[in-house]
């Protein structure tokens, strides 16, 4: 059991560069975190350099603090393994909001709750994926296709081919058709 002789160290994560971690930073600072490590990466992304840095940084007696459980682990197995590894090093773990906010995952009861809540979160993510996939399949069956509309239609492709045959550069063709060079290259290679 951690006796809290060290520091409270925070970890925050947002999924994209467009998102801000300020809410998490404010909550972690209010909880007393002396330092906060922040990743801007999807939770499914295994390359989270700031998570690796905080796991390396914490020392026995410290408590690793996260705003919400889903900001920390990618799966139940990942969560349990990381919390176990922290406990083996004498590092505590604390969640500020959500189902685990009032639970110490370093106690047997807290560990059980950690596993139950983690399993529920993983189950919910699976349901969301299944519903999304089913919705996309149903839309496809009705002839609707999701995603962005194609930039290169048949007319633009024909014009691009004719201009290319006359020796015009891809850059000039892309500019004239108001598409990116990458889009033009892709459309021309798909058409071959």
Q: Catalytic one among 15, 75, 102, 126?
A: 15
Greatest CA separation for the chain: 77
d(CA 132, CA 125): 11
| Cα 99 from Cα 123, distance rounded (Å) | 15
Distance CA 62, CA 51 (A): 15
* Sequence-ordered strand ranges (E) for the chain: 8-14, 35-40, 63-66, 92-95
Task: Look up 15 and say whether it is catalytic.
Answer: yes
Report, as residue numbers or ranges, the catalytic residues.
Answer: 15
């Amino acid at each position: 059991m951690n006796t809290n002789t060290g520091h409270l160290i925070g970890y925050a994560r947002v999924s994209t560069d467009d998102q801000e971690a300020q809410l998490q930073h404010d909550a972690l600072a209010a909880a007393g975190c002396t330092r906060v490590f922040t990743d801007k990466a999807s939770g499914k992304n295994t390359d989270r350099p700031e998570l690796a840095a905080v796991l390396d940084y914490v020392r026995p007696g410290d408590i690793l603090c996260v705003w919400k459980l889903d900001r920390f682990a990618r799966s139940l197995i990942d969560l349990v393994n990381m919390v176990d590894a922290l406990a083996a090093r004498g590092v505590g773990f604390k969640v500020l909001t959500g189902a685990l906010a009032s639970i110490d995952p370093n106690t047997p009861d807290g560990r059980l709750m950690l596993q139950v809540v983690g399993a529920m979160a993983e189950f919910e993510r699976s349901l969301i994926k299944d519903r999304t996939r089913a919705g996309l399949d149903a839309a496809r069956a009705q002839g609707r296709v999701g995603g962005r509309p194609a930039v290169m239609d048949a007319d633009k492709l024909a014009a691009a081919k004719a201009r290319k045959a006359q020796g015009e550069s891809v850059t000039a063709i892309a500019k004239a058709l108001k598409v990116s060079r990458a889009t033009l290259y892709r459309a021309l290679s798909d058409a071959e």
